[in-house]
């Protein structure tokens, strides 16, 4: 690959760049600084034969800062180009996005094989001009560049919340700025059908509305009471967006969800379900049992829908969803069961596979290919399907090993609906924790693949689900700056070891976003806090990736100012209080205010052991999390809670000496949609030797349910050194619930003792 011989040159040029650092994102494969400077002229003279559309885009992007003039004549020309059409074959495919920029004291010259390569070069040039326009001169240099991955995508869910054509175009502009080339448009889901289909007008007349929407945290089960919609794109609007994207060399991949996530479609055409209905577009988030029934009528409907979709979208791939399809209705549907028998399918997973294969055959017959979420692997992959690996990386690995293409979009790195900073100082989000450095650390090729298999990894994508994203300002907030990290990961020049260098470039790009009035997240400035055991109690460590001398904090609940205490070393937490902290630079507040409340009890900071460890994704600070003085917040799953799948919590606390107490408290969560169930029982024991334990209290399922998981137990007065608490997992999830027959999750936060 071209990349390898670039590496040495990149290292050399990095040395030279120490003085003259280019703030480019994604960073190019190869940068060589040369002697001399190109002086930015009053009037930028462009050669007359530059590709028109791309050059007009370039002029528009920086036109307010530069004057341009085309010339056909000889004489001084500042921007020229040459496009050498590629030889055909696989080489041509690889060279499509290649470009070379030579900046000499005399002029800027771009070489590429395609207009797309020229367009990518212009994106680089725009960033260079942004950086040097105040100095009015650009160092001479040579940049040779091309992406590592062919699929560099961003997804947008317009079903949970709708975004206008203008907003979608802005979104596409952001992709273009950072050299992403694929826009995955999630157009249908349970909560709304958003694309006009002429043959089935009820899809948008009925399916583009819902009665109301869920608000706040899922567990609160609260609704806004306001009708939502009708919101959808007409076919004319879709054509307009596709053309707009095409002008920016971005492929739009439409997603039509099947067989699950189909409630909005079923609300319009209930005859396509297994049961009678009526159905309504969903008002809450999650996964719903009513899905498309695989009958001939349904396939005819979907084929007709796809015919119109394929006319509107020229993309090679059509996304057919395929994720999160409960088999509840299929299990009880006579037609579905008959179909399983007739086709010798193993079970309902086989039926899912039958469904997808039948759709694939149709789409292939029209000269297109399907891509679907990794559940399309269930029951056997369709012969030519590509897999979008979201539940983790295993779907991508399995696909690549079977010589199917895969796009990597694992939730832990690529879900931009997750929090990007401490949830305490962030707007409400879906959950999870995916800060900028986490995205930047992602490597799309799984280590499990050999070189040949790795070729099936088409690329990488981030997804923006919009359950908790109510407007476009919040879209901007959630994608920036994480989109920049994705961009460099997809380009193939990211290096987690150089995160700090990347972060500096990100901060320089904030100026560009400021000018565009983009509401980006400033979470990278935020203070991170970490509780540590200290002197038989706890202390709180504050840190920032910026200058540590900029941290100020208070302990009295007031908002920190530049005059508050300067953070030096960890802050001791002797009693219940709230630490508020913030980051200041040049006397100005740069971060959000971080706020951490501590509830100190007799167990806080004491030695604690767990007989079984929490699951890896929810192990946060290990057993210590249960005595760190932080009561779990439902917004902070994975940060302040420990999660145990199918396991009980058996914790022993050592007070260090015989201690009086008469109260114990802890919380367990319930979020059945995420397979999280309340504990079944809890038992409390005491001991003085850590061997013989005496039971002093037991509560059952009903007590826990009545307390809604917030357990507070009054005890007879105790005096003991060791306290053991056993919290019983709900076990196997009963039928009728999401995740039925799987192991339930038990979430526990803090064990307090008074
Ligand atoms: C997904 O997040 N359900 C693909
Ligand atoms: Zn059925």
Nearest CA to ligand 1 atom 1: 323
- The reply to whether ligand 1 has any atom less than 6 angstroms from the CB of 390 is yes
Identify the pLDDT of residue 438: 95
Report helix, strand or coil for 703: helix
Single out the residue in 578, 598, 618 at which a domain terminates: 598
Identify the pLDDT of residue 4: 42
CATH of the domain at 739: 2.60.120.260
- The reply to whether ligand 1 has any atom less than 6 angstroms from the CB of 415 is no
Residues 182 and 103 in one domain: no
Mean per-residue pLDDT, 660-664: 96
Single out the residue in 598, 626, 641 at which a domain terminates: 598
pLDDT band of residue 637 (cuts 50, 70, 90) is low
- The reply to whether ligand 1 has any atom less than 6 angstroms from the CB of 703 is no
Residues 289 and 395 in one domain: yes
Is residue 356 a part of any domain in this protein?
Answer: yes
Least confident of 3-7, 32-36, 533-537: 3-7
Identify the pLDDT of residue 411: 92
pLDDT band of residue 220 (cuts 50, 70, 90) is confident
Average pLDDT, the chain: 93
Please state, in angstroms and rounded to a whole number, the distance separating the CA atoms of residues 629 and 751. 9
Nearest CA to ligand 1 atom 2: 390
Mean per-residue pLDDT, 350-373: 98
Q: Residue 41 CA to chain centroid, in angstroms?
A: 42
Q: Determine which helix (DSSP H) or strand (DSSP E) holds 372, and give its type and residue range.
A: strand 369-373
What is the residue whose two structure tokens read 């800027």?
Answer: 108
Residues 116 and 161 in one domain: no
What is the chain's alpha carbon radius of gyration, rounded to the nearest angstrom? 29
CA proximity to 689, closest of 737, 728, 656, 722: 722
Residues 668 and 741 in one domain: yes
Please state, in angstroms and rounded to a whole number, the distance separating the CA atoms of residues 148 and 670. 43
Helix segments in 133-190, DSSP class H = 165-177
Residue numbers of the domain that contains 536 = 526-598
**In angstroms, how far is the first alpha carbon of the chain from the final one?**
64
Burial (0-12, 13-18, 19+ Cβ within 10 Å), 629: buried
Residue 224 per-residue DSSP state:
-
243-255 pLDDT per residue, tens: 999 999 999 999 9
- % of the chain residues with pLDDT over 70: 96
In terms of pLDDT, which residue wins out, 535 or 93?
535
Is residue 482 a part of any domain in this protein?
Answer: yes
The count of other CB atoms within 10 Å of the CB of residue 693 is 19
- The reply to whether ligand 1 has any atom less than 6 angstroms from the CB of 541 is no
Asked if 526 and 419 count as a contact pair (C-beta separation under 8 A), the reply is: no
- The reply to whether ligand 1 has any atom less than 6 angstroms from the CB of 57 is no
Identify the pLDDT of residue 1: 35
Report helix, strand or coil for 411: helix
Asked if 579 and 510 count as a contact pair (C-beta separation under 8 A), the reply is: no
Residues 178 and 132 in one domain: no
| 317-321/251-258 β-pairing | parallel
Is residue 512 a part of any domain in this protein?
Answer: no
Identify the pLDDT of residue 615: 84
- % of the chain residues with pLDDT over 90: 82
Residues 101 and 166 in one domain: no
Is residue 2 a part of any domain in this protein?
Answer: no
What is the residue whose two structure tokens read 């920049």?
Answer: 484
Beta bridge partners, 645, equal: 745
- Please tell me the distance between residue 743's alpha carbon and the centre of ligand 1 in angstroms: 20
Catalytic positions are 189, 261, 324
Residue 14 confidence (pLDDT) above 90: no
Q: Which two tokens stand for residue 625?
A: 């999390």
CA proximity to 434, closest of 404, 458, 464: 464
Closest ligand relative to 276 C-alpha: 2
Residues 164 and 134 in one domain: no
Q: Which two tokens stand for residue 175?
A: 């992709």
Identify the pLDDT of residue 705: 93
Is residue 40 a part of any domain in this protein?
Answer: yes
- Please tell me the distance between residue 389's alpha carbon and the centre of ligand 1 in angstroms: 9
Closest ligand relative to 155 C-alpha: 1
Nearest ligand 1 atom, CA 415: 2
Pocket test for ligand 1, best of 188, 465, 468, 674 (most atoms within 8 A of CB): 465
What is the residue whose two structure tokens read 């190019």?
Answer: 28
Is residue 567 a part of any domain in this protein?
Answer: yes
Residues 140 and 156 in one domain: no
The count of other CB atoms within 10 Å of the CB of residue 315 is 22
- The reply to whether ligand 1 has any atom less than 6 angstroms from the CB of 416 is no
CATH of the domain at 114: 3.30.379.10
Burial (0-12, 13-18, 19+ Cβ within 10 Å), 639: buried
Asked if 2 and 29 count as a contact pair (C-beta separation under 8 A), the reply is: yes
- The reply to whether ligand 1 has any atom less than 6 angstroms from the CB of 323 is yes
- Please tell me the distance between residue 268's alpha carbon and the centre of ligand 2 in angstroms: 17
CATH of the domain at 407: 3.20.20.80
Please state, in angstroms and rounded to a whole number, the distance separating the CA atoms of residues 451 and 62. 42
Please state, in angstroms and rounded to a whole number, the distance separating the CA atoms of residues 635 and 620. 14
Nearest CA to ligand 1 atom 3: 323
Pocket test for ligand 1, best of 291, 320, 373 (most atoms within 8 A of CB): 373
Cis peptide upstream of residue 118 (ω within 30 degrees of 0): no
- The reply to whether ligand 1 has any atom less than 6 angstroms from the CB of 324 is yes
Q: Which two tokens stand for residue 659?
A: 């201690």
What CA–CA distances, in Å, run from 226 to 142, 209, 223, 232, 429?
57, 11, 8, 18, 21
Asked if 553 and 514 count as a contact pair (C-beta separation under 8 A), the reply is: no
Is residue 517 a part of any domain in this protein?
Answer: no
- Please tell me the distance between residue 334's alpha carbon and the centre of ligand 2 in angstroms: 7
Residue 3 confidence (pLDDT) above 50: no
Closest ligand relative to 388 C-alpha: 1
Identify the pLDDT of residue 140: 97
Pocket test for ligand 1, best of 390, 409, 415 (most atoms within 8 A of CB): 390
| 99-103/79-83 β-pairing | unpaired
Residues 227 and 78 in one domain: no
Report the alpha-carbon angle 487-490-493, nearest 5: 85
- The reply to whether ligand 1 has any atom less than 6 angstroms from the CB of 373 is yes
Nearest ligand 1 atom, CA 324: 3
What CA–CA distances, in Å, run from 530 to 166, 272, 579, 628, 640?
42, 52, 12, 10, 11
Closest ligand relative to 272 C-alpha: 2
What CA–CA distances, in Å, run from 698 to 172, 400, 479?
58, 51, 48
Residues 6 or more apart whose Cβ sits within 8 Å of residue 117: 83, 95, 96, 97, 98, 99, 146
Residues 155 and 140 in one domain: no
Is residue 1 a part of any domain in this protein?
Answer: no
CA proximity to 431, closest of 747, 183, 750: 747
Asked if 592 and 522 count as a contact pair (C-beta separation under 8 A), the reply is: yes
Single out the residue in 557, 581, 598 at which a domain terminates: 598
100-145 pLDDT per residue, tens: 999 999 999 999 999 999 999 999 999 999 999 999 999 999 999 9
Structurally, the chain folds into a number of domains equal to 4
- Please tell me the distance between residue 356's alpha carbon and the centre of ligand 2 in angstroms: 15
Residues 571 and 478 in one domain: no
- Please tell me the distance between residue 733's alpha carbon and the centre of ligand 2 in angstroms: 24
Beta bridge partners, 431, equal: 418
- Please tell me the distance between residue 321's alpha carbon and the centre of ligand 1 in angstroms: 8
Nearest ligand 1 atom, CA 411: 2
pLDDT band of residue 49 (cuts 50, 70, 90) is confident
pTM over 0.85: yes
Residues 550 and 640 in one domain: no
- Please tell me the distance between residue 243's alpha carbon and the centre of ligand 2 in angstroms: 39
Count helices and strands in the chain by DSSP H and E runs: 20, 37
- The reply to whether ligand 1 has any atom less than 6 angstroms from the CB of 285 is no
């Amino acid at each position: 690959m071209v990349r390898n011989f670039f590496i040495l040159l990149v290292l050399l040029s990095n040395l030279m760049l120490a003085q003259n650092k280019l703030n480019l994102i994604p960073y190019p494969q190869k940068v060589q600084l040369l002697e001399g400077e190109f002086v930015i002229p009053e009037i930028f003279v462009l050669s007359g034969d530059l590709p028109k559309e791309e050059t007009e885009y370039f002029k528009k992007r920086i036109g307010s800062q530069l004057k341009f003039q085309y010339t056909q004549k000889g004489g001084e020309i500042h921007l020229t180009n040459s496009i050498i059409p590629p030889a055909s074959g696989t080489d041509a495919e690889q060279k499509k996005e290649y470009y070379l920029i030579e900046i000499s004291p005399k002029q800027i010259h771009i070489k590429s094989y395609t207009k797309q390569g020229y367009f990518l070069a212009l994106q680089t040039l725009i960033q260079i001009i942004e950086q040097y326009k105040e100095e009015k001169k650009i160092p001479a240099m040579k940049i040779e560049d091309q992406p590592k991955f062919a699929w560099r995508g961003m997804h947008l869910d317009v079903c949970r919340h709708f975004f206008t054509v203008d907003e979608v175009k802005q979104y596409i502009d952001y992709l273009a700025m950072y050299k992403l080339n694929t826009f995955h448009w999630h157009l249908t889901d349970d909560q709304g059908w958003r694309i006009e289909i002429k043959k089935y007008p009820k899809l948008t007349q009925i399916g583009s509305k819902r009665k109301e929407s869920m608000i706040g945290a899922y567990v609160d089960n609260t609704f806004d009471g306001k009708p939502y919609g009708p919101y959808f794109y007409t076919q004319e609007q879709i054509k307009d967006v596709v053309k707009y994207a095409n002008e920016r060399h971005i492929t739009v991949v439409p997603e039509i969800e099947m067989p699950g996530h189909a409630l909005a479609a079923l609300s319009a055409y209930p005859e396509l379900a297994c049961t009678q209905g009526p159905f309504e577009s969903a008002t809450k988030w999650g996964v719903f049992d009513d899905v498309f029934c695989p009958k001939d009528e349904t396939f005819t409907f979907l084929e007709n829908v796809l015919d119109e979709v394929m006319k509107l979208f020229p993309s090679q791939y059509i996304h057919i969803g395929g994720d999160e399809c409960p088999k509840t209705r299929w299990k009880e549907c006579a037609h579905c069961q008959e179909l399983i028998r007739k086709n010798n399918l193993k079970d309902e997973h086989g039926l899912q596979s039958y469904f997808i294969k039948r759709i694939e055959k149709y789409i292939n017959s029209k000269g297109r290919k399907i891509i679907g979420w990794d559940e399309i692997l269930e029951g056997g992959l369709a012969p030519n399907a590509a897999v979008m690996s979201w539940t983790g990386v295993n779907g991508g690995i399995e696909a690549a090993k079977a010589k199917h293409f895969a796009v990597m979009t694992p939730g832990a790195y690529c879900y931009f609906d997750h929090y990007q900073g401490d949830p305490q100082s962030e707007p409400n989000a879906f959950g999870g924790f995916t800060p900028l450095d986490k995205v930047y650390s992602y490597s799309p090729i799984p280590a499990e693949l050999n070189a040949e298999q790795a070729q099936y990894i088409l690329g990488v994508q981030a997804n923006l689900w919009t359950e908790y994203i109510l407007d476009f300002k919040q879209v901007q907030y959630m994608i920036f700056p994480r989109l920049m990290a994705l961009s460099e990961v997809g380009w193939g020049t990211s290096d987690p070891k150089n995160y700090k260098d990347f972060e500096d470039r990100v901060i320089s790009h904030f100026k560009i976003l400021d000018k565009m009035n983009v509401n980006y997240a400033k979470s990278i400035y935020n203070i991170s806090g970490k509780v540590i055991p200290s002197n038989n109690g706890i202390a709180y460590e504050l840190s920032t990736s910026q200058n540590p001398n900029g941290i100020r904090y208070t302990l009295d609940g007031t908002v920190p100012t530049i005059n508050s205490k300067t953070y030096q070393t960890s802050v001791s937490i002797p009693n219940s209080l709230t630490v508020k902290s913030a980051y200041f630079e040049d006397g100005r507040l740069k971060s959000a205010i971080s706020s951490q409340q501590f509830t100190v009890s007799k167990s806080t900071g004491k030695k604690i052991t767990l007989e079984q460890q929490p699951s890896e994704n929810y192990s946060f600070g290990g057993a210590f999390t249960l005595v760190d003085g932080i009561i779990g917040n439902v917004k902070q799953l994975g940060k302040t809670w420990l999660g145990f799948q199918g396991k009980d919590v058996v914790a022993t606390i050592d007070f260090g000496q015989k201690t009086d107490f008469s109260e114990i408290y802890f919380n367990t969560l319930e979020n059945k949609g995420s397979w999280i169930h309340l504990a079944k029982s809890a038992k409390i024991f005491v001991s003085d030797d850590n061997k013989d334990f005496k039971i002093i209290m037991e509560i059952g399922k009903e007590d826990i349910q009545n307390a809604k998981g917030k357990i507070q137990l009054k005890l007879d007065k105790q005096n003991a050194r060791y306290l053991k608490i056993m919290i019983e997992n709900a076990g196997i999830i009963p039928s009728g619930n999401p995740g039925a027959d799987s192991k339930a999750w038990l979430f526990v936060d803090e064990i307090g003792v008074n």
